[in-house]
Structure 1
Amino acid sequence: MTTHTTELRFQQFKNEISEDQFSSIEFLMAKAEQIEATDPELSARILVRVNNLRKQQATISRRLENNSVEKNPQHKQNLSKTSSNVVQKVSRLGTMPFVWLVLLPTLVFGIYQAFWASERFVSRAQVIVQQPDGMATMDASMAVLTGLGVSNTGVADTELVKAYILSNDMLMYLEETLELRQHFSQNGVDVFSRVGPDDEWEALFDYYLTRIDVYIDSNSNIVYIETQAFDPDFAHTLTQTIVERAEWYINSIGHQLAEAQLTFIQHEHANIERRLQDAQTGLMQFQQRYNLLDPMAEGMALQQITYGLEGQISAKEAELKGLLTMMSPRAPKVIAARNSLEALKSQLEKERGKLSDGDYNTLPVSEILTQYTDLKIKTELALQAYTSSQISLEKSRIEAYRQLKYLVVVEAATKPHDAKYPDVFYNITLFGVLATMLFVIGRIIVLTVNELK
């Protein structure tokens, strides 16, 4: 954009002067010096035109170079002086600001990095979240019943570990256990690398996040932990404490969830078990009260006996009527038939009297069967509920076992021997590159603004 604008102004300048003036080195040099202060870009472009004219003249007069030198030695001196002026004018553009805005700050930053910046030691650890293998402790049918074939351990657990390590709770625990603020605010550390001893808690938390790095390998779900400290022993202790606290956190979550679920299921199972015991006790008391093992079976047997006696009584009555039509009421056969009929009736009354209680109050068979059926249904329903509750309890115990997660240490906290930070060469190089880029961008902006005025 800047080059294009300069060329446009140069073409406009060319159109405003004559052809002789455009080919005159002296005129162009005077014009370039005249507008150098107000329009340095156009002045530099005119000087380029001067150089081109010099090259053209050098090519044309190459064959007559010796004669030209002898006839006009001052001309060669002017040419050399003009070329030198052009180079000086071009080189002056932007040299001094670059020194002050790029080279000097980079030098100061390099001195700080090399001689003043405090060394920081890095300790590393690798952990992963695992769960028990429930499939190895039960048969396939129970595994399908409890859903143990599907594991939910994965990204969620590792992200939970990462979030807890980078949380305010972890910082509070480290401050209480290791006095983190005291280490990171000691006087032996340079002022740019430490935290203030009287800074707010939020400032300490932000500083803590700059001294710890946690990232997760998406392929293996391994959590990598790196901590920085001004002492190798403290860096090792810090990483080890973070790993131990993260392990406690994962185990406590699994225990809390499992305990809450199992407590609820056990309470419900106790209620259902009590209902089953009450139903069984009521059924047993009913059987003992009427001295019946199975009222339904005994009632059916009693009905069959009663029906048989009633059939026999009907047959004897018919036989007695037949005998009375042919014989006298005092006949031996008539008397025997009448006695047999009375015996059958007495036996029928006796069978029916078996359903009487101690007070000789008759209880109908239908009422006994109805009460017994109600008690038996209640007992069966309570038994079914108890069976379902027992299955739920076993499932809950297995689920609680599944939720017991634990942290496996893949690599224990390392103890550093050499300081990793600051990386002097990398930091100085990066600072110089960024300063140069900012200078170039700023220079472009300044030149653009000047052209638009």
Structure 2
Amino acid sequence: MSESPTNTVEKAVDKKTTEQKFIELRELTSPKDWNAIPHLKELAASFLEKDKALSDRILVRVNNLNKAKENRREGERERERELKRERGQEIEGRRGAEKLSVAAESFSKIQSNRSKISELKAKAKEKGKQQLKTSLFWFVALPVLLFSFYQIVIASERYESRAKLIVQQPDGMATMDASMALLSGFGVSVPGASDAELAKAYIYSKDMLDYLLTELNIDQHYTNGNVDYFSRLESQYSQEDLYDFYRKMVNVEIDEKSLVILISAQAFAPEFSQKLTETISQRAEWYINKVGNDLAESQLAFIRGEHIRVEEKLLTAKHNLLFFQDKHSLLDPEAEGLAIQQIAYTLEAQIAERQSALNALTTIMSEKAPQVVALNNEIQAIEKQLLKERSRLSNNQIGLTDPNGIPQVRDLSVGAILAKYAELKIGLELALQAFTSSQISLEKARIEAYRKLKYLVVVETPTLPEDNAFPKVTYNITLFTLLLLMLFGIGRLVLATIKELK
């Protein structure tokens, strides 16, 4: 009776080398079990944890047994083939005649199979054509027919009105003389693309949409129930929906070379499309003019304020000078001073003349002589007048001043009058120079503001369309058909690829 693998393992586990352990294990195992492959596999599994090397050696024994078993089987197969070859040679003669009959039968079967295959191919080809026709009808022909029916019968006509505008600036050289043109230092300026872009941005703005809602009630026109569902705006719309629909109906383009602004507006009636384009053009013109005027006014406001202040100073200086002249009843104080001085010089000359005559008389007459007394009285009168005239030139009495700072005196000296007059005159001249400079600055600012003014000029008035521009039936149907055919072809290629991969 063969020993169990467990007992065998316990007896062989104490040996030292793997080969010695393997030899002792062979001696401890019966020949039947030693040649039994299942028993050796169980034995190798039992040694796997305790002695891996011995387990591997047992598995080598198992492999050798398997190879020997396979060699025996191969020998048996070779002997069987030899026997079959000998038997075949014996029956080869008998099968010769049978082969001829079998070949004839096979040829007839092949011909029959070929005809059947041809019939199957024809049926498959016919079925493929039928499937292709069916697919084309459902996925191409029917959608194209429905879309064509919508485009021709149902779709509402949309009319498009166009207008052309351009932003221009005035020719400043044509509105001023040569000196002011040189002073301002400019010629004709050409508006840039930013002005056209500004007009375009305002046309697309929410402010323009609000203005059109107020003036034309465009929401009622675009939500008209007589228009087909896919072309009109929904009755329960939001502000965003209305704005998006407005952007679809109104288009603004700018020519890069000429900067001409092309406005195109669509509507479901030709008159309304023309009115819409006209209203947009007028409102855009108002906006461009308003922007230019606001810029000009803001630029001129400060200069005008300064000019008014300088003008008030000039008027004050003139008023002070006139008040001073009226107060002293003097037209020209300088001439008045020269006249008084000339009188004094004349009186001194008369005194000298009379004194010479008096000296001559006293040599021949007594002091009480009537002629001497008369001449003395005349000399005293002239000296008194001379003192009065000199006091007018050098009197320093100054009275009170009025609210404007003008001296209020009764006997103001000529020197003081000349000094005050010169001060007032210099103040007037300075105020006049400041006024002149301010006037030039104001004129330059006005010209500069004028050159910055911009006007929206209508190049082409809004047109009244006679034929509808949309929908473009032929173009839409052709494009829709081509797209469906392209998608259908791609789908067929995908399906054919999937079938081949299967």
Q: Quickly name the TM-score band, shorter chain normalised.
A: 0.5 to 0.7
The answer on 1:354 being equivalent to 2:392 is: yes
The answer on 1:395 being equivalent to 2:433 is: no
Residue 465 (structure 2) aligned to one of 416, 421, 427: 416
1:426 corresponds to: 475
**Distance in 2 separating the partners of 1:252 and 1:144:** 29
Q: Which residues of structure 2 form unaligned runs of 5+?
A: 1-105, 349-361, 365-375, 400-408
**Distance in 1 separating the partners of 2:496 and 2:294:** 67
Task: Name the stretch that deviates more: 291-300 or 146-155.
Answer: 291-300
What one-letter code is carried by the residue in structure 2 that aligns with 1:125? A
CA deviation after TM superposition for structure 1 residue 186, in Å:
1.1
**Percentage of identical aligned residues:** 51
Larger Rg: 2
Residue 375 (structure 1) aligned to one of 413, 419, 424: 424
1:281 corresponds to: 319
CA deviation after TM superposition for structure 1 residue 72, in Å:
5.8
Residue 196 (structure 2) aligned to one of 150, 154, 158: 158
CA deviation after TM superposition for structure 1 residue 209, in Å:
1.0
Alignment of 1:30-429 (within 5 A): 73-74=111-112, 76-77=114-115, 80=118, 104-262=142-300, 264-286=302-324, 352-355=390-393, 356=395, 357=397, 371-399=420-448, 401-403=450-452, 405-429=454-478
Tell me, yes or no, if the aligned pair for 2:169 and 2:451 is still in contact at 8 Å. yes
**Distance in 2 separating the partners of 1:253 and 1:165:** 14
Label 1:407 to 1:74 Cα distance change in 2 as closer, same or farther (>3 A).
same
CA deviation after TM superposition for structure 1 residue 105, in Å:
4.1
SS at structure 2 position matched to 1:354 = helix
SS at structure 2 position matched to 1:153 = coil
Deviations 1:386-408 (A, max 9, x none): 11221233334444544554333
Tell me, yes or no, if the aligned pair for 1:69 and 1:76 is still in contact at 8 Å. no
Give the number of aligned pairs: 371
Tell me, yes or no, if the aligned pair for 1:353 and 1:362 is still in contact at 8 Å. no
What one-letter code is carried by the residue in structure 2 that aligns with 1:382? A
CA deviation after TM superposition for structure 1 residue 246, in Å:
2.5
C-alpha RMSD over aligned residues = 5.2
SS at structure 2 position matched to 1:421 = coil
Q: Normalised by the size of structure 2, how large is the TM-score? A: 0.57
SS at structure 2 position matched to 1:410 = strand
**Distance in 1 separating the partners of 2:341 and 2:491:** 114
What one-letter code is carried by the residue in structure 1 that aligns with 2:442? L
Which structure has more RCO (C-alpha within 8 Å, separation ≥ 6)?
1
Label 1:345 to 1:125 Cα distance change in 2 as closer, same or farther (>3 A).
same
Label 1:441 to 1:372 Cα distance change in 2 as closer, same or farther (>3 A).
farther
What one-letter code is carried by the residue in structure 1 that aligns with 2:217? E
Task: Name the stretch that deviates more: 102-111 or 222-231.
Answer: 102-111
Deviations 1:366-423 (A, max 9, x none): 8766655543443232112211221233334444544554333222222212212111
**Distance in 1 separating the partners of 2:299 and 2:429:** 27
Q: Normalised by the size of structure 1, how large is the TM-score? A: 0.63
Deviations 1:340-381 (A, max 9, x none): xx9999898666422325889997888766655543443232
**Distance in 1 separating the partners of 2:150 and 2:384:** 125
CA deviation after TM superposition for structure 1 residue 193, in Å:
0.7
CA deviation after TM superposition for structure 1 residue 109, in Å:
2.9
**Distance in 1 separating the partners of 2:288 and 2:228:** 37
Label 1:215 to 1:300 Cα distance change in 2 as closer, same or farther (>3 A).
same
What one-letter code is carried by the residue in structure 2 that aligns with 1:179? N
CA deviation after TM superposition for structure 1 residue 215, in Å:
0.8
Deviations 1:203-257 (A, max 9, x none): 1111011011111122222211111111122222222222233333333334444
CA deviation after TM superposition for structure 1 residue 124, in Å:
1.4
**Distance in 1 separating the partners of 2:412 and 2:187:** 58
